[in-house]
Amino acid sequence: MPDSGRLSIVGTGIRPGGQLTTEARHLIAAADQVLTVVDGLALNVLKAINPATESMQDCYAVGRQRDDSYAEMVSRLLAPLSQGKHVCGAFYGHPGVFVWPAHQAIKLARANGHSATMYPGISAEGCLFADLGLDPAMHGCQSYEASDFLLYPRKIDPTAALILWQPAALGDHSRSTFKTDPAWVQVLADVLQADYPADHPVIIYQAATFPLESPRIESVPLCQLHQARFSQLSTLFLKPTGPPRLSEERLIRLGLKPENFTHAEFQLSRGTGNWNASKSGTRRSG
């Protein structure tokens, strides 16, 4: 049997000073070693909670494939477990959202007989819902990584909201650079125009990372998306083209008539055209 090493994976939230949960703070403080990929203010916050905090940002290097960087992070998270240590891995935002090393480390730790648990954190998606006034129950919500969406055709519903993550990685087919290829963005826009009009607004969203900072909420027409500039924190949001239509065939199967169907308040609201994001205009952080 291996020593009773323990792995705790936590999220620091988007604004680590205010969005680091009480649970995460407790786990960070109690750990024998904290390994993290956050930097700047977030790293200072973690070191203040537990001086045994070490950054794993050095896993990244120019020209190095990100998958190799992630594999090194997993190895570093697992190594102290064999010594019976409590290791806390702290990742930006929610540790289970676009954080492959966190999931892989938990999987391998458990396979080796160690205790391993992931604890939720405030994600960029949670911030997006709040800043754009989006309730996913109202329209429904489709969510894809941008490159994956582009390369693997999906059937989407334009009457539901669409979120595309990590547009800055469009064109990074080698997974070793952090540059956006406008040609890839143009193809993405062309693909989306099969379901959306050319002038459909696309919100470029970026959550605020500091308390006095405003989120970036910039609207551009779909046909001009290739001219936009993205950061590593940018996300694309497309509002619905309109409300969905009731299925008469399904109502018949349920023994209902349209005039007898009682709509929920959110179902009535989505037909009014009241959409907070479309009224936000353009705001930039900083």
Active site residue 205: no
Cβ–Cβ under 8 Å, residues 98 and 44: no
Active site residue 245: no
Among the listed residues 32, 46, 44, 39, the one whose alpha carbon sits nearest the alpha carbon of residue 77:
32
Token digits for 149?
């969406």
d(CA 193, CA 189): 6
Which one of the listed residues 6, 76, 92, 270 is annotated catalytic? 92
Task: Work out the number of other CB atoms within 10 angstroms of the CB of residue 212.
Answer: 6
Active site residue 196: no
Which one of the listed residues 60, 66, 119, 175 is annotated catalytic? 66
Among the listed residues 62, 115, 118, 112, the one whose alpha carbon sits nearest the alpha carbon of residue 90:
118
Which one of the listed residues 70, 76, 205, 270 is annotated catalytic? 70
Say if residue 143 is exposed, middle or buried (CB neighbours under 10 Å; 0-12, 13-18, 19+).
Answer: middle
Enter the DSSP assignment of 258.
Answer: G
- Compute CA distances 151 → 31, 65, 110, 148, 192, whole Å: 41, 19, 33, 5, 13
d(CA 16, CA 28): 13
Backbone angles phi, psi at 255, to 5 degrees: 75, 30
Which residues are the active-site residues? Answer: 66, 70, 92
